[in-house]
Amino acid sequence: MPWPLIAFAVGLGIWGAATLIDTRHDIALAEVERTVASRMEKDESSEPGSTLFAARCATCHQADGLGVRGAIPPLAGSTFVAQGPELIATILLRGIDGPIRVGDHIFNGHMPSFASVLTDGEIGELATYVSHRFGGASDTLDPLSVAALRERVAHSGGFKGGAEIAASTGAAVGAQPPFVSAIAASLTPEASSLIFTGRGEQWACASCHGDLGQGKENTPRLAGLPADYIVKQFDDFIEGRRVNESMRIVVSTLSNAEKREVAEYYARLRVPSNAKPELGGNLARGEELALHGDWSRNVPACFSCHGPSGFGVAPEFPPLAAQQAAYTANQLAAWTGGHRNNSSLDLMGRISRQLSDADRRAVADYLASLPPVPAGEAEQIAKIGDRP
């Protein structure tokens, strides 16, 4: 064999061996990187409190702790979280009703107390996890410390915003907005009569939906629904696209201006929830459907249309959070049976028909357990007559 051919063959063999070694090295390095990443992910997900955070906090504050712009304050970078687990636990035990400032933004909503739903150990684990992950703290909070906190704040009620948190705990959380004891919204005498006393043979809105639009049992919560959505429902009742004889009678004589003013009133209300799980639904299944859907049945997540935390996407997709469980379940059943068909492209009809009775109860109960729509930054005290 000619020596140039031999030299070429030897060189080709050396190149092949070197390439194989480099490839094996790259594969090994990639495998190491994957292993390290997997371990880091496992370490984070297995830290006590992480599962509780995903179930109880991420729905509102989001999995990355960045919150919802204009509605839910972030945990990441929050001066409140930076104070450590004891303050976080105190907030979990008491809740917040009123405005707080985080960074350059003011958030004015309702954070429920978890005192009745979480044990001392769970409060400690959750507060520790949040302070470690989002506040960079290293302290931990044990169940005995939480028990002492619980006893101290048992009769205190919710914090009246960030100002009370700073004043009562001495937390260094920066300048906080004052708490103003007021709810919404000025009304003309005519609209006030429609809502609270009725007109002629028409009964008052409040007689069924409550003075503050919170609803009850199979009567829906109206507080926080988008005004355009409410007006559309009025028109759908009148035109028969949505069937409810009581509602048709009530709204059939309203002028367009009256429809708008009543709708604006309810849209601007920000009041606590009186809804609760009451149908015996599986809350874990309801949470799964709300957050992730069930693609084995072609059911998208509720929140993919109705917005983060179920706070709605105006004007087409109303808030689901804090809606009465019986009402939600009945509406899903109505879409399933074709008794309600005023959803664009029959979207809700198609989704509802894929859900079992148990699924409808589960998601309705889960949504009823959520806090209501918070006020936006510019809606701390909203007055209808102040619109530009």
In this prediction, residue 46 carries a pLDDT of 67
Q: Global pTM?
A: 0.69
Distance, in Å, from the CA atom of 340 to the CA atom of 335, rounded to the nearest integer, reads: 5
Residue 155: per-residue pLDDT: 86
- Per-residue confidence (pLDDT) for residue 88, from 0 to 100: 96
pLDDT at 24 over 50: no
* 47-50 contacts at long range (C-beta below 8 A, 24 or more positions apart): 47/129, 47/132, 47/133, 48/125, 48/128, 48/129, 49/125, 49/126, 49/127, 49/128, 49/129, 49/130, 50/129
**What pLDDT does 29 receive?**
45
Instruction: Specify the fold of 283-369.
Output: Cytochrome Bc1 Complex; Chain D, domain 2 (1.10.760)
- Which has the higher per-residue pLDDT, 2 or 168? 168
Q: Which residues contact 237 (CB under 8 A, 6 or more apart)?
A: 243, 244, 247, 248, 251, 252
Are the C-beta atoms of residues 93 and 127 closer than 8 Å to each other? no
CATH of domain 50-169: 1.10.760.10
Distance of CA 228 to the CA centre of its chain: 21
Q: What dotted CATH number matches 189-272+375-385?
A: 1.10.760.10
Question: Do 207 and 194 form a contact (C-beta atoms < 8 A)?
Answer: no
Q: How far apart are CA 70 and CA 91, in angstroms?
A: 20
Q: Looking at residue 231, what is its pLDDT?
A: 96
Q: Half-sphere exposure (CA, 13 Å, Cβ side) for 355?
A: 32
| Matching fold, domains 189-272+375-385 and 283-369 | yes
pLDDT given at position 36: 38
Q: Which among 376, 375, 368, 159 is positioned nearest to 274, based on CA atoms?
A: 368
312 confidence band (pLDDT: 50, 70, 90): confident
At residue 387's C-alpha, the angle toward residues 384 and 388, to 5°, is 165
Note the pLDDT tens digit of each residue in 70-83. Answer: 788 999 999 999 99
What Å distances lie between residue 208 and 196, 197, 280, 307, 324, CA to CA?
10, 12, 24, 27, 13
Return d(Cα 226, Cα 215) in angstroms, integer. 16
- Residue 35 pLDDT: 41
At 334, the amino acid letter reads: A
What is the model's pLDDT at position 13?
57
**pLDDT tens by residue, 252-283:** 989 999 999 999 999 988 888 999 999 999 99
Per-domain residue ranges of the chain = 50-169, 189-272+375-385, 283-369
Contact criterion met (CB below 8 Å) for 133 and 49: no
